[in-house]
Amino acid sequence: MRSCTKSLITGILMLAGSVAYGSDYLLYSPDKQIEVKIQSNTQLTWSVSYHQQAVLAPSVIALAFTNGMQCGVNGKVLKEQRHSVNEVIEAAVPVKSRWIANQYNEVKLLFDKKYAIVFRAYDNGVAYRFETAFGEGEVEVAKEDADFVFTGNNRVLWSDEKDTGFQSHFESLYIDSMVAAYGSDKHAALPFYTQSSSGVSMIVSESDLYDYPNLFLFGTGTNRLTAGFPRVIQQQRRVADRRYQITQLAPYIAKTKATRTYPWRLLTIADNDKALLESNLTYQLSSPSVIKDASWIKPGKVAWDWWNANNIYGVPFASGINTETYKYYVDFASAYHLEYVILDEGWSRTTVDVLHSNAQLDIHELIRYATTKNVGIILWTLWNPLDSALHETLDTFAAWGVKGIKVDFMARADQYMVNYYERVAKAAADRKLLVDLHGAYKPVGLNRKYPNVLSYEGVRGLENDKWSDEITPKHDVTLPFTRMVAGPMDFTPGAMINSNKRNFHISFTEPMSQGTRAHQVAMYVVYESPLQMLADNPSNYLRDSACTRFIAQMPVTWDTTIALHGKAGEYVAVARKHGDNWYIGAMTNWTARSLTIPLTFLENGQWQMQALKDGVNANNHAADYTIENATVTVGASITIELSSGGGWSAVLTKKTL
């Protein structure tokens, strides 16, 4: 990765000499539409205005340590430093955009107690972080105050976390309410969506999170949110192969270096929901890649076994977690030019012994066979056996010829687990292995520092259709404006058995989705994941080769993303470019609707458009779809019809004369 291809750093200003106590400091975005006011009175606070309208009232920020030191309380500003940056970041793995404009203004306030606070203002958001210079050794962070006080009773979309000890798979549904209804007995994982009464859309999240726990937001029953953090675990007891009971917690949230930078606290700000779809702020604020040569990192599509329960049919052998079944997956992947097959839970001798395959699976023969078909194998593992034998396990996998790992069931967000993510990413990168994190918290920038980390779960995804009716089209069109704003999202789309409201039923071994087939296919454009699953049974895909071919041609990385339409929980439409081709994806909730797509993003000339859309009978038979071809030109507009729970997607290829 090249972190900067062109750079202009201007306006450096250092004001020193006199001590400022109780002063106000203003910071503006490059376009002057965002104003940040930092007040360094007895208590450090910040507030934000957007288009001259207050969107964040004065909100407390502070750090407290077990040795009595504090940041943000009774501090005196010794020095003010300002600078501006205007550069372009090239993403090693372009999740949303290959070239990311990174333009911001920054102010750094250095205090008398050997700490600083840094604020950055972008045209689409604001971020701040603490920096400490307490010398050598370590400190214990007792607490962090990070309030977000909104200026009214905003609408909020928040992930309803249940576990008061912060043990979570981060797969909660998003609750749609007003912020005042979000009481002190509720807490949410980030990202956290809010919208003001005037329609300004905002996302609270964090970035560059290392050696420190995740931030959670607690309600107060007012327009104020407060921060909460998992404490350091001192003692725990294993009660299952993947589950632990915490028996003792430390009186602090982190034990960390005395001199360091802390995570960015981030507020994305947009005119409307649609604009959130183009945000790259989590990526921009994260540390640059430490992988010098990322050419070995190959994003791709994956034939995935677990959702369909290895329940293939029409074959002359017994399906299951065995060599013959996985060769069938490999043959399917090869036929449709899918890059990988994942072997999920069950492939190994036991869930805690991942150094040996089960008796029905010859892992060496499978990898040899897959190699001849130009298909890579990715292996699932629980996090804890990998933690106890990280280097031995990854050395073994690399020696076998495995291409990556899917690490699962971490279900924690404390300091140790944050450090574990980085240890796994680094150890995997050292062996040129890809990483997919499941049972995981949201992206916080690790995928920029270690671009071999291709995707994260941290979402209530398609797998839940196997046991619940909660994965509705409304949920599907909520995610792009909430969870996906933080980064890549392994939702695992691709259901080939589809249903409307009336006929959905739960089946663990033959699962189905809610919404239309075209709704599922559109996810391959709308949802961002450089490791994108085809979740259904290869036998089902082979029965409908037209639909499967359409999915298989979709890229998993994007050079450009343009938001076309969007309203959280209602509908979404995006255009994306990869190479010379453009791709459009649109989805709706249970409300059928028409959307007009202006093709102003196309280059001059004629374009061949192949579109997969809801069939005329999709309202009654959700799997009904049709594929149509048309010629379009720049500046034209097309109107698309979305059935209830429907979708629409298209590939646009430049015609040659």
**Summary mean pLDDT of the chain:** 96
Predicted local confidence at residue 21, as pLDDT: 52
Query: What CA–CA distances, in Å, run from 543 to 302, 359, 412, 538?
Result: 18, 31, 40, 9
Q: Which residue has the tokens 């996985």?
A: 326
Of 141, 185, 143, 148, nearest in space to 164 by CA: 185
**Contact 435/530 with Cβ under 8 angstroms?**
no
Domains of the chain: 7-284 (2.70.98.10), 299-438 (3.20.20.70), 459-529+558-657 (3.20.20.70)
Give me the residues paired with residue 63 across strands. 71, 144
My answer on whether omega of the bond before 191 falls inside 30° of 0, hence cis, is yes
Under 8 Å CB-to-CB from 448, ≥6 apart: which residues? 1, 91, 92, 283, 286, 287, 288, 289
Letter for the amino acid at 192?
F
User: Which residues are marked as active site?
Assistant: 408, 463
**CA-to-CA distance for 150 and 203, rounded, in angstroms?**
12
Q: Which residue has the tokens 């509720």?
A: 186
Predicted local confidence at residue 18, as pLDDT: 35
Predicted local confidence at residue 187, as pLDDT: 95
- pLDDT exceeds 80 at position 275: yes
What does the angle CA 261 – CA 263 – CA 266 come to, to the nearest 5 degrees?
135
Predicted local confidence at residue 63, as pLDDT: 99
SS3 state at 506: coil
H runs (alpha helix) in 238-382: 273-276, 281-284, 323-335, 363-372
- Helices first, then strands: H and E counts in the chain: 12, 39
Q: Compute the 3-state secondary structure of the chain and give helix, strand, coil in percent, each to the nearest 5.
A: 15, 40, 40
**Contact 405/394 with Cβ under 8 angstroms?**
yes
Query: What CA–CA distances, in Å, run from 124 to 163, 203, 267, 271, 278?
Result: 33, 11, 9, 9, 10
Tell me what percent of the residues of the chain surpass a pLDDT of 70. Answer: 97
- pLDDT exceeds 90 at position 86: yes
Q: What is the pLDDT of residues 230-248, one digit of tens each?
A: 999 999 999 999 999 999 9
Q: What is the pLDDT of residues 509-536, one digit of tens each?
A: 999 999 999 999 999 999 999 999 999 9
Mean pLDDT in residue range 585-594: 99
- pLDDT exceeds 70 at position 3: no
- The two tokens of residue 339 are 């890059």
Tell me what percent of the residues of the chain surpass a pLDDT of 90. Answer: 95
- pLDDT exceeds 60 at position 12: no
DSSP 26-89: EEE-TTS-EEEEEEESSBEEEEEEETTEEEEEEEEEEEEETTS-EESBS--EEEEEEEEEEEEE
Q: What is the pLDDT of residues 42-61, one digit of tens each?
A: 999 999 999 999 999 999 99
**CA-to-CA distance for 459 and 456, rounded, in angstroms?**
8
Give a three-class secondary structure readout of 357-401: ECCCCCHHHHHHHHHHCCCEEEEEEEHHHHHHCHHHHHHHHHHHC
Predicted local confidence at residue 162, as pLDDT: 86
